[in-house]
Amino acid sequence: MFNFYLYNKSYEKANAAQIEENLKVLNDLVIAERANEDFFWKNDSIWSCNTKEGNFSDVVFSKIHDRQLSQQVIPRLLQTIPSIPEEFSSIDEFIGSSYKIYNAFYGAVFDDPSLINYVTDRKTYSAYKNKYLYEITPKTLWERKEILFSNLILCPDVESNLKTVGAKYLHQILNRLLELDKYAATKWLNGDFDYCAANKQTSLRISPESKETMKQEKYRNMRMFKMPDGTNKCFDLHIKTGDFRFYFHPENRKVYIGYIGSHLPTIRY
């Protein structure tokens, strides 16, 4: 979860033109292009804060050049953003609050615009999201799976797999998953998944289990994993990365990840 709090003091240092441009971007982020993981908040005191050109509400309704933006868009935008009782005075106070996981101030003018937690426009918004999107824990990797991967689907058992693996190997795991996701999205354009082609075009080491192993019911059962719809499938293909194995099932241009963990027993191992 990414939290963005409209910071009153940042508007105190802004003129009408800066506020107009800042709220145009905010409308895009909140209304037009809203990301599921983004949450925007405000305290109602924002309406009464003093800007360089007067009271915030007066500037919005009488000094913004774009009348449609002033009279229709911004009021609807600010009504859409939930009001909270807290009025944060510093970014550290917001970060230490009950709003999790990652917190930033959104506003027009900041004393130190280089601080990653100060978001003023689309560029700083993207920089903030990109920095923290890949700073992961087992919990956030699971929570952000739909954001991180376009063609990979992590099956239910993977959530507990990630907790077992722990934080030490998470970036190694994430890098392998991202590489597989990129291959599926850009190279697997039609037909059945070809693991040999994937091996030639990536650094992934994909292989199926041996026929001898799969003939043994006990070993085959170890590779049965639950799909998101609750059904069970046999996951034969796997990626080898050190001591880890990533078992996956490709279907309809999606790659279902059923298991991430240590080497599973085989007829020879």
pTM of the model: 0.63
Q: What is the pLDDT of residues 104-113, one digit of tens each?
A: 999 999 998 8
Same domain, 6 and 122: yes
191 and 85, same structural domain? no
- The predicted-structure confidence for 80-133, as pLDDT tens digits, reads as follows 999 999 999 999 999 888 877 789 999 999 998 889 999 999 999 999 998 887
Which of 83, 109, 133 is the last residue in one of the domains?
133
Indicate whether 268 belongs to any domain.
no
Q: Answer yes or no: is pLDDT of 174 > 80.
A: yes
Same domain, 71 and 97: yes
Average pLDDT, the chain: 91
Minimum mean pLDDT range among 11-20, 169-178, 223-232: 169-178
Whether the per-residue pLDDT at 263 is higher than 90: the answer is no
Q: What is the pLDDT of residue 139?
A: 84
The count of structural domains within the chain is 2
Q: Sorting pLDDT into bands at 50, 70 and 90, what band is 247?
A: very high
Segment 233-242 mean pLDDT: 91
Same domain, 119 and 164: no
Instruction: Grade residue 171 by pLDDT with cuts at 50, 70 and 90.
Output: confident
* Residue 57: inside a domain: yes
pLDDT at 142 over 80: yes
Residues 116 and 145 in one domain: no
| Structural domain boundaries, residue 257 | 138-262
- Residues 221-227 have a mean pLDDT of 94
- Share above pLDDT 90 across residues of the chain, in percent, rounded to a whole number: 63
- Residue 147 belongs to a domain: yes
pLDDT band at 241 (very low <50, low <70, confident <90, very high): confident
Query: Are 66 and 148 found together in one domain?
Result: no
Say yes or no: 159 and 253 in one domain: yes
One domain, residues 35 and 147? no
Instruction: Looking at the structure, tell me whether residues 143 and 210 fall in a common domain.
Output: yes
For residue 151, the model assigns a pLDDT of: 93
Domain assignment present for residue 23? The answer is yes
Select from 106, 133, 160 the last residue of a domain.
133
Domain-embedded: residue 267:
no
Asked which of 133, 161, 179 is the last residue of a domain, the reply is: 133
45 and 168 belong to one structural domain: no
Two structure tokens written together for 262: 């240590």
Same domain, 201 and 258: yes
What 108-113 contacts at long range (C-beta under 8 Å, 24+ apart), as own/partner pairs, is: 108/10, 108/11, 108/13, 108/14, 108/18, 108/19, 108/22, 109/10, 109/11, 109/13, 109/14, 109/18, 110/7, 110/10, 110/13, 111/13
Residues 126 and 170 in one domain: no
Which SS3 state, helix, strand or coil, does residue 56 take? helix
- In-domain check, residue 68: yes
